[in-house]
């Protein structure tokens, strides 16, 4: 059982102001490793994008082909490195792609072993009923992000967003990244065929990265609204104070 799993006596003591254990060590370690990896991947990815800021569908795409999207030139303060250097951006991107991939694999194994996914992220049928969804939405509008009856539990929107990131966005980013690697193309040519060609893979990769960036922004905003010191402490030590 992952550290932080409540017992019945602990649940009885869940009162406002009480400090409880909310996040286990598996979640906390992966959270920070993943945060660093994603931030560096986004910055280095923008540096790579500046080399050819156009997106295409299909197998081929070049300057005179029709692009479905023309991207802006991203400023130096957003890119890694801060000056344009395609080779260095690719090195940073490749290294932290490995960190992201193996980190996600370790987290998946840890989540299964500790039953974190089944216990904390499983979406139950009653949570998807219209009345329950509407009630959760209203609580978000009122900046109440936890259920006072079970403060440790993730709410529905947290479960949906975390499941989307863990089981859709991150695996898709990794798969499309593999498709863009010439070495991986030689080993697994079927990946490009599955994604509809190299340029389609590049477009999907950018769309997925944009979705992850949006999730990161929303996540940070909600952390600030929920109480940044309390939320930060919970992700470092696992201890979280139940809000009044």
State the 10-residue block means of pLDDT for the chain, 244 residues long.
46 70 88 95 96 92 86 94 94 96 94 88 88 88 78 86 93 94 83 90 96 95 89 91 81
Domains of the chain in start order, with CATH, are: 35-241 (1.20.950)
What pLDDT is recorded for position 12?
Answer: 44
The shares of helix, strand and coil residues in the chain, as percent rounded to the nearest 5, are 65, 5, 30
Res 109: pLDDT: 93
pTM of the shown model:
0.86
> Residue 6 CA to chain centroid, in angstroms?
26
**Residue-level pLDDT at 10:** 46
> Rounded distance, CA 220 to CA 226, Å?
10
For residues 149 and 137, give the distance between their C-alpha atoms in angstroms, rounded to a whole number.
17
pLDDT for 1 equals 44
- pLDDT at res. 13: 52
């Amino acid at each position: 059982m992952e550290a932080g799993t409540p017992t019945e006596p602990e649940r009885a003591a869940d009162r406002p102001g009480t400090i409880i254990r909310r996040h286990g060590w598996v979640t906390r370690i992966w959270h920070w490793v993943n945060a660093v990896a994603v931030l560096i991947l986004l910055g280095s990815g923008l540096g790579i994008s500046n080399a050819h800021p156009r997106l295409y569908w299909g197998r081929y795409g070049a300057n005179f082909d029709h692009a479905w999207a023309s991207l802006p030139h991203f400023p130096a303060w957003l890119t890694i490195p801060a000056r344009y250097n395609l080779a260095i951006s690719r090195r940073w991107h490749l290294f932290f792609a490995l960190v992201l991939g193996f980190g996600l694999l370790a987290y998946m194994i840890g989540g299964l072993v500790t039953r974190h996914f089944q216990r904390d992220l499983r979406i139950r049928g009653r949570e998807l009923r219209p009345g329950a969804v509407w009630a959760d939405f209203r609580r978000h509008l009122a900046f109440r992000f936890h259920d006072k009856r079970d403060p440790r539990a993730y709410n529905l929107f947290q479960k949906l967003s975390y499941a989307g990131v863990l089981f859709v966005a991150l695996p898709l980013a990794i798969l499309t990244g593999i498709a863009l690697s010439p070495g991986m193309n030689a080993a697994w040519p079927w990946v490009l065929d599955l994604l509809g060609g190299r340029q389609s893979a590049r477009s999907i990769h950018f769309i997925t990265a944009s979705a992850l960036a949006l999730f990161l922004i929303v996540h940070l905003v909600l952390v600030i609204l929920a109480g940044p010191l309390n939320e930060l402490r919970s992700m470092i030590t696992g201890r979280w104070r139940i809000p009044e």
